[in-house]
């Protein structure tokens, strides 16, 4: 190799491209197409992410046009002008000529890419704070794609002397690399064939770069592909040596065989390097494409009896609201595939709704399409999509039928792998207290709660009858509202707790989401109405005595003979609103446990089950306190309120003039009854026998020697499906509030902690943070503020009208109570009849007002959607029109400079 000759060839080709405006025009077109692909589509705004996901999809297709424009004149122009003979007579090898021209083409492409790099970065930076590491890795991927496609396109130029034919051939030779990734779902090809071909596509090999990862396997693929194609160019430039040899015998078949053999060797080496990936550099600022240390340790250590197979089924036209989840899923699967090696086989299937792959997903895994709400050009619509995965190993199978936007992908994957690998699942017992977590026969309660469905993915779940002695051992005994048990059942339950059965107790003085559940200390009104002897509301004291904790009590005034005793379990409150847009529907009894509330120890930093959580919502919870009655109990608070908190008695919240007609008091009345406590209120606590457990150790070990191991949570609402629905829904930019709650992982961590399962505790706490279009969110926030003010005004009118109707009903009831000459039975009957009629009128009025309010809100939303579309149209127009201007200005300058240079020395008479 002669470096001076190589540089001379390089410089000649490089300068010739930029010496005329044509080169800059091509760059202008390239930047225009790139900007349009990145920012013009509605998906860019719907996804609300400061990245180039949309450009990633279209970039290989843009390159099918741009790369041949660079490579078409590499050698075809030399042959057309006859300068190829001059080059070949220079004291230079074929290597010098080919690589000089290749590096020139690559430098031209690099300059073009730099224009796109800076313009895209400026656009994203003006709209948000892009992740520079992700951005850099993405453009490095673009550069690698260009390098490989240029080497392929050069072959077309070496085959012909016609520049147009060279352009066509350069595009055609690159088509298989680009479109190979689109073969999935082609019906006439076997699945194994499409999987194999897709693996070698440019799009598939670039996924690491687009996810912010620079991996050894991807870099090796592009360099090896480039090397093979440059070798083919060297063969073609040397045709004068082998086209006709002795006796005119062509060496073409020989060189073709050498090229094909080299191609097979390089493909084998690429596969080998892919299996033994030497490095994977996650360039993202938040390490979005990396697994947590616990996941990596698990994948390195686990040794399945049968290989684990993961198949993810993702709709090809997935709404952009799911783009973050798709990013997380693909990144996690590629990391798992890289770390686990032969132990895990990963396949990502892009499917259409009615394709064979979709049918196979339903038949094999029960993964069906789900209807989701999406937004197109600011307008809400609904769409059916497929977005689930199945994990198998031998006969074991775990299915996640739908990955909602809020589901933690890494946890779902690692938990599924661990579950299919372990054929012996632990058992969780659910105490039958009257709370129908497992489902029941009542209206609307036919199906089990989501917490049970979630636990079944990891444990065997069985019902436990407390009316019989609890002799079996369970990994965890889940006890919802044990205060509803009879005295004999409570004794059996307490005996199991004392025996060392790890137990998760959820006891709530004010069940907010299910009015069929009786609050702690509340009389059994259902039994009283049916003439049955009520259960003792103080039966729960047996449990408190065994544990050494109890619920905080408060003193309240009795509003009638139906009110609870003056001293009763209290409801906790806290003055903290995590978001100013929550609005008036949030009361102080919606307790948000969060370090952001001013309580750094809101989640015990020394307990592995809860440390690191950010926010959990407890609806009208109770408070816990240590009774100090048991000396060998260690009690560790797990969740606390901030210092600006306290408790309120049940009667301070509720007016209950007659049974079944309870009414929440006005906010001003409630605030008058709130009692501020001295310090924080405990919402959850871990109780174990002193010396048998530690906060950072397995809680299961605490019970190994017969010691008590229990977690008490002063809220049962946290178990209900609404929090699972909020988690699955995820964040939506148009939501009135951004919930972003840790309720679900908190409950699951408590169960795992008690069961001695440590491997998922930290994984559940991980929250990938994607960079958003902050500027766009600010614009939308201003629109939403206007919309929310209009909604609040509508709500005020609605509430005023409903309050007036309620006052009318109370007046009627007061008149009935004041009537003389009625027996108590007649009075009760009159009250019940009048109350039912009043409630019916109230319901009719409520429906009428709701229809009016909904129409007003629809009108508001329509106006806001129109404003949002106008802003988006302005932004995307500027984002597409402005970036091509710099190279276009340079082209104009070069054009006039060249014209001026051509006219110098020419007499004025000869100038046109």
Query: What does the DSSP assignment read for 798-856?
Result: HHHHHHHHHHHHHHHHHHHHH-SS--HHHHHHHHHHHHHHHHHHHHHHHHHHHHHHHHH
Q: How many residues does the chain have?
A: 912
Q: What is the DSSP letter of 36?
A: I
Helices (H), 471-612: 487-498, 525-529, 541-547
Q: Which helix (H) or strand (E) holds 282?
A: strand 280-282
Q: Which helix (H) or strand (E) holds 316?
A: none
Contacts with 440 (C-beta within 8 Å, 6 or more apart), sequence order? 446
Give the model's pLDDT for residue 148. Answer: 94
Q: Which of 504, 441, 456, 499 is nearest to 477 (CA)?
A: 504
Contacts with 45 (C-beta within 8 Å, 6 or more apart), sequence order? 773, 776, 872, 875, 876
pLDDT in tens, 20-42: 777 888 888 899 999 999 888 87
Give the model's pLDDT for residue 686. Answer: 96
Give the model's pLDDT for residue 442. Answer: 39
Q: Which residues share a beta bridge with 295?
A: none
CB 651 within 8 A of CB 675: no
* d(C-alpha 449, C-alpha 478), whole Å: 13
Give the sign of the dihedral formed by CA 671, CA 676, CA 680, CA 683: negative
Q: What is the pTM of this model?
A: 0.76
CB 236 within 8 A of CB 155: yes
User: Could you tell me the CA-to-CA distances from 609 to 45, 507, 685, 711 in Å, in that order?
Assistant: 37, 19, 11, 11
CB 245 within 8 A of CB 307: no
CB 119 within 8 A of CB 31: yes
Over the chain (912 residues), the average pLDDT of each successive run of 10 is 82 83 84 90 79 89 91 83 73 83 92 91 87 92 95 90 90 90 63 73 87 89 91 81 60 72 77 72 85 88 88 85 84 88 87 85 90 68 88 89 85 89 86 86 59 90 94 94 92 94 95 88 64 69 92 71 62 83 69 92 93 93 87 89 91 68 72 84 90 47 64 94 84 63 93 92 84 74 66 66 68 67 62 66 70 73 75 83 84 77 61 53
* d(C-alpha 296, C-alpha 487), whole Å: 49
Give the model's pLDDT for residue 702. Answer: 43
Q: Which residues share a beta bridge with 53?
A: none
DSSP codes of every residue in 140-156: HHHHHHHHHHHHHHHHH
* d(C-alpha 304, C-alpha 817), whole Å: 73
Q: Which of 136, 181, 159 is nearest to 68 (CA)?
A: 159
First to last CA, the chain: 48
CB 479 within 8 A of CB 505: yes
CB 903 within 8 A of CB 911: yes
Long-range (24+ apart) CB contacts under 8 A made by 665-673 are: 667/587, 670/587, 670/588, 670/589, 671/588, 673/556, 673/648, 673/649
Q: Which of 375, 295, 292 is nearest to 340 (CA)?
A: 295
Question: Cβ-count burial of 80 within 10 angstroms (0-12 exposed, 13-18 middle, 19+ buried)?
Answer: middle
* d(C-alpha 630, C-alpha 628), whole Å: 6
* d(C-alpha 730, C-alpha 739), whole Å: 8
Contacts with 101 (C-beta within 8 Å, 6 or more apart), sequence order? 9, 10, 13, 74, 75, 154
* d(C-alpha 319, C-alpha 833), whole Å: 52
Q: Which residues share a beta bridge with 11?
A: none
| Cβ neighbour number for residue 277 with a 10 Å cutoff | 17
Question: Cβ-count burial of 119 within 10 angstroms (0-12 exposed, 13-18 middle, 19+ buried)?
Answer: buried
Give the model's pLDDT for residue 797. Answer: 66
Contacts with 161 (C-beta within 8 Å, 6 or more apart), sequence order? 76, 79, 80
Give the model's pLDDT for residue 197. Answer: 76
Give the model's pLDDT for residue 441. Answer: 41
Q: Which residues share a beta bridge with 431?
A: 464
pLDDT in tens, 796-823: 666 676 677 667 767 766 776 676 666 6
């Amino acid at each position: 190799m002669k470096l001076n000759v190589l540089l001379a060839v390089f410089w000649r080709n490089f300068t010739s491209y930029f010496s005329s405006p044509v080169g800059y025009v091509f760059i202008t077109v390239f930047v225009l197409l790139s900007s349009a692909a990145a920012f013009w589509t509605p998906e860019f705004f719907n996804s609300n992410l400061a990245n180039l996901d949309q450009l990633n999809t279209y970039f290989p297709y843009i390159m099918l046009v741009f790369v041949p424009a660079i490579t078409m004149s590499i050698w075809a122009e030399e042959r057309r002008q006859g300068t190829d003979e001059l080059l070949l007579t220079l004291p230079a090898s074929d290597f010098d000529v080919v690589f000089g021209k290749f590096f020139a083409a690559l430098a031209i492409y690099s300059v073009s890419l730099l224009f796109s790099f800076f313009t895209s970065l400026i656009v994203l930076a003006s709209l948000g704070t892009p992740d520079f590491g992700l951005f850099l890795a993405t453009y490095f991927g673009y550069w690698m794609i260009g390098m490989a496609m240029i080497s392929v396109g050069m072959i077309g130029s070496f085959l012909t002397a016609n520049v147009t034919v060279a352009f066509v051939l350069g595009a055609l030779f690159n088509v298989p690399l680009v479109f190979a990734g689109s073969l999935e779902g082609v019906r006439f090809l076997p699945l194994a064939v499409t999987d194999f071909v897709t693996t070698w596509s440019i799009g598939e090999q670039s996924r690491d770069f687009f996810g912010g990862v620079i991996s050894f396997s991807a870099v090796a693929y592009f360099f090896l592909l480039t090397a093979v194609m440059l070798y083919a160019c060297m063969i073609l430039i040397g045709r004068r040596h082998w086209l006709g040899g002795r006796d005119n015998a062509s060496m073409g078949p020989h060189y073709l065989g050498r090229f094909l053999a080299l191609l097979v060797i390089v493909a084998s080496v690429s596969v080998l390097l892919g299996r033994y990936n030497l490095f994977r550099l996650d360039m993202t600022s938040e390490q979005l494409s990396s697994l947590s240390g616990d996941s990596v340790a698990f994948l390195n250590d686990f040794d399945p009896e049968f290989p684990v197979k993961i198949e993810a089924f993702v709709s090809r036209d997935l709404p952009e609201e799911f783009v973050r989840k798709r990013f997380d899923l693909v990144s996690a699967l590629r990391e798992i595939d890289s770390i686990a090696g032969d132990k895990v086989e990963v396949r990502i299937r892009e499917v259409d709704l009615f394709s064979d792959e979709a049918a196979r997903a339903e038949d094999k895994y029960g993964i069906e399409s789900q209807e989701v709400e999406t937004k197109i050009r600011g307008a809400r619509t609904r769409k059916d999509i497929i977005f689930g995965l199945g994990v198998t190993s031998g006969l074991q199978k775990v299915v996640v039928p739908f990955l909602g936007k809020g589901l933690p992908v890494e946890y779902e994957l690692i938990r599924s792998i661990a579950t299919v690998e372990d054929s012996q699942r632990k058992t969780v017992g659910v105490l039958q207290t009257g709370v129908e977590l497992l489902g029941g026969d009542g209206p609307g309660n036919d199906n089990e709660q989501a917490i049970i469905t979630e636990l079944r993915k990891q444990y065997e779940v069985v019902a436990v009858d407390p009316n019989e002695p609890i002799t079996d051992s369970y990994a965890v005994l889940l006890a919802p509202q044990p205060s509803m048990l009879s005295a004999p059942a409570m004794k059996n339950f307490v005996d199991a707790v004392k025996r060392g059965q790890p137990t998760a107790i959820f006891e709530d003085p004010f069940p907010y989401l299910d009015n069929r559940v009786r609050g702690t200390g509340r009389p059994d009104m259902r039994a009283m109405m049916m003439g049955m002897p009520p259960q003792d509301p103080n039966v729960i004291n047996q449990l408190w005595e065994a544990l050494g904790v109890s619920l905080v009590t408060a003193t309240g005034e009795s509003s009638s003979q139906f009110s609870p005793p003056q001293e009763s379990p209290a409801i906790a409150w806290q003055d903290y609103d995590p978001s100013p847009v929550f609005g008036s529907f949030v009361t102080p009894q919606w307790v948000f446990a969060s370090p952001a509330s001013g309580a750094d120890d809101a989640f015990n930093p020394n307990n592995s089950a809860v440390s690191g959580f950010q926010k959990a919502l407890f609806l009208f919870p109770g408070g816990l306190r240590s009774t100090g009655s048991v000396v060998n109990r260690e009690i560790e608070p797990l969740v606390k309120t901030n210092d600006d908190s306290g408790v309120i008695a049940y009667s301070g919240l509720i007016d209950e003039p007659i049974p079944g007609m309870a009414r929440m008091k006005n906010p001003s009345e409630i605030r008058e009854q709130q009692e501020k406590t001295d310090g924080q209120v405990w919402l959850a606590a871990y109780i174990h026998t002193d010396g048998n457990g530690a906060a950072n150790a397995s809680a299961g070990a605490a019970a190994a020697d017969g010691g008590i191991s229990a977690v008490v949570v002063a809220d049962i609402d946290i178990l209900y499906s609404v929090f699972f629905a909020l988690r699955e829904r995820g964040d939506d930019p148009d939501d009135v509030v951004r919930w972003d709650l840790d309720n679900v992982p908190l409950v699951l961590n408590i169960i795992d902690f008690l069961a001695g399962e440590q491997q998922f505790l930290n994984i559940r706490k991980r929250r990938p943070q994607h960079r958003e279009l902050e500027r766009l969110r600010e614009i939308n926030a201003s629109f939403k503020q206007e919309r929310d003010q209009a909604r609040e005004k509508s709500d005020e009118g609605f509430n005023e009208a409903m309050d007036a109707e309620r006052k009318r009903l109370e007046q009627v009831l007061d008149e009935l109570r004041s009537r003389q000459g009625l027996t108590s039975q007649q009075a009760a009957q009159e009250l019940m009849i009048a109350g039912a009629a009043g409630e019916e009128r109230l319901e009719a009025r409520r429906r009428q007002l709701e229809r009016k309010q909904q129409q007003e809100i629809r009108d508001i939303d329509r106006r806001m959607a129109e404003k949002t579309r106008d802003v988006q149209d302005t932004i995307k127009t500027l984002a597409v029109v402005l970036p091509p201007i710099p190279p276009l200005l340079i082209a104009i300058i070069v054009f006039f400079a060249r014209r001026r240079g051509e006219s110098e020395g020419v007499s004025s008479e000869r100038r046109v």
